[in-house]
Structure 1
Amino acid sequence: MRPVSKNTVMTMEAYRSQAEVLVKSYLLADTLVPFTSVVGGILAYKLVYDLTQLVSMFYFRTYASLTKIQRTEWNNRGMSTVHAIFITATSLYFVFWSDLFSDRLAGPVTFRHSPLSTFYLGVSVGYFLSDLGMIFWLYPSLGGMEYVIHHSLSGIAVAYSMASGEGQLYTYMVLISEITTPEINMRWFLDTSGMKKSAAYLINGVVIFIAWLVARVLLFVYLFYHVYLHYHQVIEMHIFGYLLVFVVPAALALMNLMWFGKIIKGLLKTIAKKR
């Protein structure tokens, strides 16, 4: 095996140092994080959309028999599933494991942020912009007004938190609710593939019920309780951020309860058919 020369090692170290400087001084620079992350998010989800289309054409027989709008929705749901997995993992880390929002640190929790937490929120903003664009372009094929309201509220709240650095803890708490998205999408995939009467469809319904109860009902109760305990810090936020902390979670919680009622009815109906 040919030994690596000293000059080659020095060149590799130089490239590595340049890459670190690029990440720290550009990608994670405070003034450029929002722009970089949003644009990067849009491009990343466009890539995921195209990869979903490519993989589905080769590995899923059902895909070829779908209509044009069904294929578009199939690809769109693949994109939303990837975003949901990414942002849920990120949110769980920042809310429950990171020291960024820990009570062990001094200072109001409502003003804490980091270049990394801001960057991840920007990626999520990129997704909401991409998905909203598709919803408007193909309205109402990919979702009705409830989807427009949900995505608009979420996008505005996440964008403000990203740009201002305020209330990022509560933004990440709300984003944990995206954990229900892969199950919802899987239900659509199973239905479209003609597996509505399968055991997998029933199991999926039970998983949706449990995930929705935990992430979109109980978690919001915890969020409001946390806001109550830290109200003296919340009131110090800018008036727009202050309103977002209350208005957006309250509106989403109301929509979640309405959808939860439909989930319960659907699950009971499915179980009754199985019996």
Structure 2
Amino acid sequence: MMDLSTTSLLAAKAYKYKAESLVKDYLFADSYVSYTAVLGGILMCKMVYDITRLISSFYYKSYGSLTKIQKLEWNNRGMSTVHAIFITLMSVYLVFFSTLFSDELDGPVTLRNSNLSNVTLGVSLGYFTADLTMIFWVYPSLGGMEYVLHHMLSLVSLVYAIYYGEGQLYTFMVLISETTTPGINLRWFLDTAGMKRSKAYLVNGVTMFVAWLVARIILFIYLFYHIYFHYDQIKQMRTFGRFLIFVVPMVLLVMNTMWFAKILRGLKKTLAKRQ
């Protein structure tokens, strides 16, 4: 007869084998990898939220004096900053450096996708799901209807791009606009920390103005330029996909332009106070 230790060892090996099979056959299988990425994105948000709260409570003395809503927004902005850095790096790579959407390859760029692109979009979908949930939870403390509209458009576009594998190039172009998020969050952090008259606040304002102009205005103009010259390939997409490609960027461009006007007015006031 086998002793207790041998039996336990065999049971542990059997459990390990089942766990590895689950990960290989389901979580990382091609048909499930996007769902795993979405779950990973949600878990990443939870982890970053908690880490932001932990680090802030140790290294920022005034964190404890913030109101409950301010603490929630503080941690939420830490979460959105990490997502913005991730999605910006991945989107820039896939759009401008990867061969996935290169015109030199055969076939429409509008119908191309890969495991990497699907995983990236899945993580972003997880973030927008978590963030929108938080916005509804404490509405309107984290943002009004304009934020709800922005996130809903993002969610619909991401779900379509992942499920049908269409229009991912334009989805990533739009997601590059998230590069402005760290600057926006830093501005809020500085304001909340009472550093509105600091040099860092001024530098942040100028940087945010330039980043917004490039990523949310000029890049969107380039996006429509690309759509115009690839319209024959866009026509091969599903009707709803074509609708999203034209409507979502247009709505976001209008919103970006309105926000850009506010940023410009705010920068002018900041510069006027320093003269």
Using the alignment, how far apart are the partners of 2:147 and 2:24 within structure 1? 37
CA-to-aligned-CA distance 1:119-139 (integer Å, 9 cap, x gap): 110000000000000000100
Partner of 1:211 in structure 2?
A: 211
- Where do residues 1-275 of structure 1 align in structure 2 (5 Å cutoff)? 25-275=25-275
**Contact 1:28–1:115 (CA under 8 A) maintained in structure 2:** no
CA-to-aligned-CA distance 1:197-251 (integer Å, 9 cap, x gap): 0111010000000000000000000000000000001011011111000110000
Using the alignment, how far apart are the partners of 1:250 and 1:217 within structure 2? 11
- Runs of 4+ that moved beyond 2 A: 21-30
Runs (5+) with no aligned partner, structure 2? 1-15
Offset of residue 27 of structure 1: 4.1
CA-to-aligned-CA distance 1:131-170 (integer Å, 9 cap, x gap): 0000001000111111000111111111210111000000
Offset of residue 62 of structure 1: 2.1
- Output the aligned Cα RMSD: 1.5
CA-to-aligned-CA distance 1:150-196 (integer Å, 9 cap, x gap): 11111111121011100000000000000000000000000000000
Using the alignment, how far apart are the partners of 1:218 and 1:249 within structure 2? 12
- Paired AA for residue 123 in structure 1: V
- Paired AA for residue 203 in structure 1: V
Partner of 2:11 in structure 1?
A: none
Using the alignment, how far apart are the partners of 1:70 and 1:145 within structure 2? 19
Using the alignment, how far apart are the partners of 1:180 and 1:43 within structure 2? 23
- Paired AA for residue 270 in structure 2: T
Using the alignment, how far apart are the partners of 1:33 and 1:163 within structure 2? 12
- Paired AA for residue 200 in structure 1: A
Bigger shift: residues 166-175 or 55-64: 55-64
Offset of residue 103 of structure 1: 1.2
Offset of residue 40 of structure 1: 1.2
Using the alignment, how far apart are the partners of 1:193 and 1:177 within structure 2? 26
Using the alignment, how far apart are the partners of 1:173 and 1:197 within structure 2? 35
Using the alignment, how far apart are the partners of 1:99 and 1:55 within structure 2? 39
CA-to-aligned-CA distance 1:16-38 (integer Å, 9 cap, x gap): xx97x887754443210221111
1:105–1:24 Cα change, 3 Å:
farther
- Paired AA for residue 247 in structure 1: V
Instruction: With the length of structure 1 as denominator, give the TM-score of the two structures.
Output: 0.91
- Paired AA for residue 176 in structure 2: I
Using the alignment, how far apart are the partners of 1:254 and 1:24 within structure 2? 44
Percent identical pairs in the alignment equals 64
Using the alignment, how far apart are the partners of 1:214 and 1:169 within structure 2? 18
Using the alignment, how far apart are the partners of 1:62 and 1:119 within structure 2? 38
CA-to-aligned-CA distance 1:60-103 (integer Å, 9 cap, x gap): 11211100000000000000000000000000000000010011
